[in-house]
Amino acid sequence: MLFKQPIEKVFAEVKSSPKGLHNGEIDRRLRDFGPNQIAQTKKKDYRIEYLKEYISFFPILLEVAGLLALVAHYFQPGEGNDILAYAVFAAVFINATFTFWQKFKADKAMEALLKLVKSEAMVLRDGETMTIDARDVVPGDILILSEGDKVAADAILFESNDLYLNLSVLNGESTPSLRNLNHGDATRELDAKNMVFAGAAITNGNGLAVVVATGEATEFGKIARMTAEVGKTETPIEKEIKHMTKILTLLALGAGVVFFLLGWFSDRGLLISAIFALSLIVANVPEGLLPTITLSLSLASQRMARRQALIKNLNSVETLGSATVICSDKTGTLTQNEMTVQTAWLPNGCGCSVTGKGYYEDGEWQFTGEPGRSPHESKSTTFPSLQRVLQLAAINTHAQVDFKAKTSFGDPTEIALLVAAQKAQAEFGDWEKVKEYAFSSERKMMSTLVKPAGEYKESLAVKGALEAVLPLCNHWQGDSGLQPLDSDKIAEINRQNEKMAAQAYRVLAIATKVGDGENDLVFVGLLGLMDPPRNGVKEAVAQCYSAHIRVMMITGDNPITARAIGEKVGLKIDEVLTGHDLDHLGDDQLRGKLRDKHLLFARMASAQKLRIAQLLQDNGEVVAMTGDGVNDSPALKKADIGIAMGSGTDVAKESGDMILLDDNFKSIVAAVEEGRTVYFNIKKLTTYILSSNVPEIVPYILSFFLKIPLPLSVIQILLIDLGTDQLPGLGLGSEKPEKHIMKRPPVGKDEKILDREVFKRGYFMNGMFEAGAAMFAFLGFLFLTGWEYGNLDISDEYHRQAMTMTLLGAITCQMANVFTLRSWEDSLWNLQGTNKMIWFGVGTEVFFVLLILYAPPVQTVFNTATVPLEYLWLLIPFPILLLLNHEWYKKRQREKWANYVPA
Ligand code: ATP
């Protein structure tokens, strides 16, 4: 067992060294060991998926209808039932293919998105640190492990600083376990304390380890092969649509039975009545809705990905539209996370500042002087002290900067320290790292014990938040040696800290001591780092407020710095609460503040985010919460939408519903906009699809009660539902955001997509106009051509002409419908841009209309005939009425929102 061997032997065994593999070696190892991935257990067989489209409930109904038509043809040839049968089969084929295509496209869109969630690993190769695709890790590679990483492969540790591993994916144990360099008395790999395992998460500390197994040879690989694929859970929208489909199916079945009986008793013949009833059922159940909605959700998530927000689960697209509060981190989300040290203060009272922007620009330290000394004098006396401060800061980091190649690695705060040290030529000389007290957001500090070359004693370099570091100090570094830290000096240091924080600087306190232990430290200075707000964040924050969304900053930084940054980006701040304040507030009090005030949270521990999410939810808010660290993951899971930073830890990314590829607050707002858009697009397309059911049913019902010929045939109903409606419907699903979408309040949490409004607009408003259109065209044509009421004995050609008018009445209304539905609230005339998919859909409808009117083979299939042009004006009034009515209705809606005052 390799983990029991001395580390030198392990290196010999995997033919590697602490500096890592040679680059030339990698390809050979990748060939020998294969990529570091676990083969997917099960792939969808799309041939079977396609076949399934023919054997579910609704296609089977149609197939039965087709077979019945064939039977009817057998007994009574020459009545066109054979053509009906083939047309019904064709409808089954077209519908199955279209539905399959939509599902396939949605799947592919999701796959493409998931590919963006790359797993990376930091390794050492040829002595150089590099970030590589986790799939390229090979045995012998050196993994550089830090807090929040998901381990890429099984590896044996040879350096470990406070390293804790969460092994829950492997053994279900969620308490992190400490790793060190001893294997203990383990008898198998999984129990070895000196090993880390693929898939496990590092919850604390850092370390170096040499890879001994990759891909399926890892412990995780062995388990993964055993476990079957986990079942997919249904999203609420899927449930909602299935529920709605069920109700509509029952209604349609009921109506089908009634129509069947009516038809049979009114001598339409048993078979014909059955075919009609079955087709009516199929036509009235919007079974194509689910794939259309799934596709429009995945298209929305693709659009979001283009705007840097990666949705992991489609359901969150919808939830985003309902977000009422965004709780955002500060560093990197509202700010650029590009730190530069800009000022320093030394305890002798001397202030300094440094020029040169960015990491690689040259710069120079300047002295603003101190009481009793000119800047020039100060420079000569204090420069060595400043250099010492910067030396201590620079050795106490994990970052790396290559000034020549202009590349850098690591935490931006730490990179900034290296750059500042370089600008002061503060070289530390050769030294050896003895030990590290790792940084954590909870401790807010970090220390490194080093042994300078040639020196006998070790020194400890300490950096961190002032309130974490200062209580551990008992001396300060004066020009003439160590001075005891009295209350006056403490007050002076605190004043200076506040002054820097009020100017939006992130302040780091630097301390040191000879020897080990984070106590009895010597305070040596303060460094002020600037992290400017991101471009566009101010506008995005303003947009949130106008969209009735509150924004709360939750940061680990100092309250004064946090407020200063908050004000810069335009946050409304009624009160700043610190983590300490929070501990002293009861749930009821805090809930009250969260309800009534614009709050900003500073010096927060990650665990407190969970409480905030919970209390906000108790208040009925829909919470979007950002996070990047390991400890953020409970809050990310709790929030309605957990938003992990793209640069954040793997653990946070796994817990979030959405990953912000560029960490930018602006992208959250863009995602909210898309979420709201897709919510309304689904409403629009559902309304559109429901509308055309009315002109299909009403004429049929009327034909029972009035003495008129049948206005619409089965195949014509199928033509509308499974033919002409599909493409424009899809177009509505991909409509662009509406102009006022970020001016209205969030979508209510309990507001269903398929609510009364959809049924009202679909069935009762637009649908009724369409039924009116169909009957107006049908009866208008009959009366204008001399038909007498009650005459059912008309020629086949004449009947076909009249039915063509009904069909065209419905189709032309759907054309007007699709245009006015492009916006749920805005006027059609104010819409910007066009929707190509809708134009394409309407174009195909026009083409179909021409075929119906003038192409004899098409006419044979769809029971239509050429109608003289002089009657076509009958098709004009109702689409216009539908359009005007819906536009008027939207105007009233807009007035309602204009006067909306949030509760
Ligand atoms: P946010 O929560 O918005 O990301 P943050 O980055 O300030 O804010 P943390 O990273 O938790 O939050 O840092 C908390 C505090 O710890 C900082 O204000 C700083 O004083 C200190 N700190 C940050 N980085 C380091 C570091 N690398 N070494 C030592 N102390 C640090």
Is residue 294 domain-shared with residue 385, that is, in the same domain?
no
Mean pLDDT lowest among 98-112, 416-430, 573-587: 98-112
Ligand 1 pocket, 439 CB below 6 A? yes
Ligand 1 pocket, 329 CB below 6 A? yes
Do residues 614 and 625 lie in contact, with contact meaning Cβ atoms separated by under 8 Å? no
Is residue 735 domain-shared with residue 709, that is, in the same domain?
yes
Q: Is 790 left (phi over 0), alpha (psi -120 to 50) or beta?
A: left
312 in a domain, yes or no? no
Q: How many domains does the chain fold into?
A: 4
Is residue 656 domain-shared with residue 676, that is, in the same domain?
no
Q: What percent of the chain has pLDDT over 70?
A: 94
Phi, psi of 541 (to 5 degrees): -65, -45
- Domain ranges, residue 408: 345-527
Which CATH number does the domain housing residue 160 bear? 2.70.150.10
257 in a domain, yes or no? no
315 in a domain, yes or no? no
Of 220, 249, 277, the residue that ends a domain is 220
pLDDT score recorded for residue 185: 80
* Residue of the CA atom closest to atom 12 of ligand 1: 556
DSSP for 807-873 reads HHHHHHHHHHHHHHTT-SSS-GGG--S--HHHHHHHHHHHHHHHHHHH-HHHHHHHT-----GGGGG
Give per-residue pLDDT as tens, 123-158: 999 888 888 888 899 999 999 998 878 888 999 999
pLDDT score recorded for residue 116: 66
Is residue 23 domain-shared with residue 139, that is, in the same domain?
yes
Do residues 400 and 408 lie in contact, with contact meaning Cβ atoms separated by under 8 Å? yes
**Residue tagged active-site, from 141, 149, 162, 329:** 329
Of 602, 634, 663, the residue that ends a domain is 663
Is residue 571 domain-shared with residue 517, that is, in the same domain?
no
Give per-residue pLDDT as tens, 357-400: 767 667 788 887 666 667 777 777 778 889 999 999 999 998 88
Give per-residue pLDDT as tens, 491-526: 999 999 999 999 999 999 999 999 999 999 999 999
Using DSSP bridges, classify how beta strands 641-645 and 623-627 pair: parallel, antiparallel or unpaired.
parallel
For a pocket test of ligand 1, which of 557, 560, 571, 576 has the largest count of ligand atoms closer than 8 A to its C-beta? Answer: 557
Do residues 530 and 546 lie in contact, with contact meaning Cβ atoms separated by under 8 Å? no
**For residue 507, how far is its CA from the centre of ligand 1 (angstroms)?**
9
Tell whether the model's pLDDT for residue 11 goes beyond 50: yes
737 in a domain, yes or no? yes
579 in a domain, yes or no? yes
In the chain, the N- to C-terminal Cα span, in Å, equals 66
250's CB contacts (< 8 A; 6+ apart) are: none
Which CATH number does the domain housing residue 731 bear? 1.20.1110.10
Tell whether the model's pLDDT for residue 278 goes beyond 70: yes
Give per-residue pLDDT as tens, 753-808: 778 889 899 989 999 999 999 999 999 999 999 999 988 889 999 999 999 999 99
Do residues 92 and 291 lie in contact, with contact meaning Cβ atoms separated by under 8 Å? no
Is residue 782 domain-shared with residue 849, that is, in the same domain?
yes
Identify the helix (H) or strand (E) that includes residue 353: strand 351-354
Tokens standing for 393?
């800061």
Identify the helix (H) or strand (E) that includes residue 510: strand 505-514
For the residues 838-851, what does the mean pLDDT come to? Answer: 93
810's CB contacts (< 8 A; 6+ apart) are: 692, 695, 696, 712, 720, 770, 773, 774
- Report which ligand 1 atom has the smallest distance to the Cα of 507: 20
- Report which ligand 1 atom has the smallest distance to the Cα of 333: 3
Ligand 1 pocket, 397 CB below 6 A? no
* Residue of the CA atom closest to atom 16 of ligand 1: 444
**Residue 579 CB: number of other CB atoms within 10 A?**
18
Of 220, 244, 270, the residue that ends a domain is 220
pLDDT score recorded for residue 459: 92
392 in a domain, yes or no? yes
**For residue 569, how far is its CA from the centre of ligand 1 (angstroms)?**
20
81 in a domain, yes or no? no
pLDDT score recorded for residue 118: 66
Q: CA angle at residue 840 from 836 to 842, to 5 degrees? A: 115
* Residue of the CA atom closest to atom 1 of ligand 1: 555
Global pTM reads 0.78
pLDDT score recorded for residue 231: 38
**For residue 411, how far is its CA from the centre of ligand 1 (angstroms)?**
10
Return d(Cα 81, Cα 89) in angstroms, integer: 12
Strands (E), 186-331: 195-196, 201-213, 309-311, 325-328
Is residue 392 domain-shared with residue 511, that is, in the same domain?
yes
Is residue 722 domain-shared with residue 617, that is, in the same domain?
no
- Report which ligand 1 atom has the smallest distance to the Cα of 411: 27
**For residue 735, how far is its CA from the centre of ligand 1 (angstroms)?**
42
**Higher-scoring residue by pLDDT: 246, 807:** 807
Is residue 381 domain-shared with residue 499, that is, in the same domain?
yes
What is the residue type of 144? I
For the stretch 236-270, what's the b/e string if a residue is b when 16 or more beta carbons lie within 10 angstroms of its beta carbon?
A: ebbebbeebbeebbeebbebbeebbebbbeeeebe
**For residue 556, how far is its CA from the centre of ligand 1 (angstroms)?**
6
Q: Based on the residue annotation, tell me whether 618 is a catalytic residue of this protein.
A: no
HEC secondary structure over 656-703: CCEEECCCCHHHHHHHHHHHHHHHHHHHHHHHHHHHCCHHHHHHHHHH
pLDDT score recorded for residue 773: 96
At residue 446 the predicted structure's pLDDT band, cuts being 50, 70 and 90, is: very high
Return d(Cα 769, Cα 886) in angstroms, integer: 10
Is residue 729 domain-shared with residue 868, that is, in the same domain?
yes
pLDDT score recorded for residue 271: 76
- Residues β-bridged to residue 311: 658
**Residue 64 CB: number of other CB atoms within 10 A?**
14
429 in a domain, yes or no? yes
Residue (of 555, 541, 476) closest to 511 by Cα position: 476
* Residue of the CA atom closest to atom 10 of ligand 1: 441
For the stretch 739-778, what's the b/e string if a residue is b when 16 or more beta carbons lie within 10 angstroms of its beta carbon?
A: ebbbebebbeeeebbbeeebbebbbebbbbbbbbbbbbbb
Which CATH number does the domain housing residue 371 bear? 3.40.1110.10
DSSP H helix total and E strand total for the chain? 32, 27
52's CB contacts (< 8 A; 6+ apart) are: none
Which CATH number does the domain housing residue 653 bear? 3.40.50.1000
Is residue 699 domain-shared with residue 561, that is, in the same domain?
no
At residue 252 the predicted structure's pLDDT band, cuts being 50, 70 and 90, is: confident
- Report which ligand 1 atom has the smallest distance to the Cα of 329: 3
Return d(Cα 528, Cα 509) in angstroms, integer: 9
Return d(Cα 400, Cα 394) in angstroms, integer: 10
Do residues 435 and 206 lie in contact, with contact meaning Cβ atoms separated by under 8 Å? no
pLDDT score recorded for residue 229: 36
Residue (of 845, 889, 832, 835) closest to 687 by Cα position: 889
**For residue 603, how far is its CA from the centre of ligand 1 (angstroms)?**
9
Is residue 693 domain-shared with residue 658, that is, in the same domain?
no
Q: CA 450 from chain center: how many Å?
A: 44
Tell whether the model's pLDDT for residue 20 goes beyond 80: yes
87's CB contacts (< 8 A; 6+ apart) are: 715, 718, 861, 862
pLDDT score recorded for residue 234: 59
At residue 560 the predicted structure's pLDDT band, cuts being 50, 70 and 90, is: very high
Do residues 713 and 801 lie in contact, with contact meaning Cβ atoms separated by under 8 Å? no
pLDDT score recorded for residue 288: 66
